[in-house]
Structure 1
């Protein structure tokens, strides 16, 4: 009887030890669970050797990134340079590469609603809008409605001319300059802003192509956008009339420095 009791006690202690061990493992697993910050991507400058080596790997097997040229960025002086940079780095979709370019208004036959048809006919992994014109948010909102309120791809918007609330509703994030009322991107006198906009645009395209999930509206969004902005300092946009801070609208601070 004593031997049996000792055996029972020993077995009980062993089971308790195992239970504590696995509980500890679970706690460690919970602690180590990945968050969005674990996937924040560091975008390297275009001229680095890392990006040169990566260039040949871009394909559209997992979908294309649709790049949209809107107001201020849809003139040949800008689009030719931008498309040349995009083709060299990512390749164009028509040649098996990553980029599906859309230039407003020519590629849309003058109708912004055509954007919905283009996005639905292609396998899209991301959309980057540059100078989105008025009502760009409408076709995006209709796609979002079709997907029960969740777009099946990320949408990044840079320097839009569209309705602010519409852009914030349909895009993962919006980026603008802190003071852009006096900036006319189509004016030849703002070549510096064009160059900066193109660098930011290229960074956003790469981020859209590498991101393995849809960016949620959470506390980590700022860090994703700051990674895209790189050396540029960003802050959340605050409405001057209401004082309300936007969750996904950011401004570039002191962009001229």
Structure 2
């Protein structure tokens, strides 16, 4: 199994052991806002920590960790241009396979500018992109998010994450990947199965990937294995479960 969206810097060493015991072989850790990102130095130190510390903690437990780095909409510091200027160096590191987590939180003019700039960077560098959708005003902001994606990068290189029943219909014409986040306060394993059963055939089995988004928020490092278990109980065949929990993420990110 692959957990396609985590924030490893917020989790304990023991969480990685638990994940490995449950059958998670790989995970993707994304940049976010683990503290007050008041200056570019804090953001860049966050990137360094992911590359220098979290890979060791995951690897010591047998989990292959890859990274997506970028300027999260809640991490836009006053001197954010320094981060954007230095970001290509981080993206060139072997362990970094995507730009992320980027997107809109409130859809301010500044957020749109930073989001657009990073999508254009990904387009120029031929990189994949992991895009955030917020908890608040989710539908309205997702509509704006999809519009910006459409004008700046091939959607096939993008995964829109935290997709739930409130926005799934907006994805009908979107040609990218859909991240299903199973996390307390967002979606339970049973709710994830219900959403997938309603949309799996119409949207295509190769477009979905599961993740836990485990972070400092209420989280469960076993979200993906628990959802796989629920899919088995619901009668899903092994091939489809493998696509959702491993193959789609591996193919998209190039594991």
TM-score, normalised with respect to structure 1 = 0.34
Which structure has more RCO (C-alpha within 8 Å, separation ≥ 6)? Answer: 2
TM-score, normalised with respect to structure 2 = 0.35
Larger Rg: 1
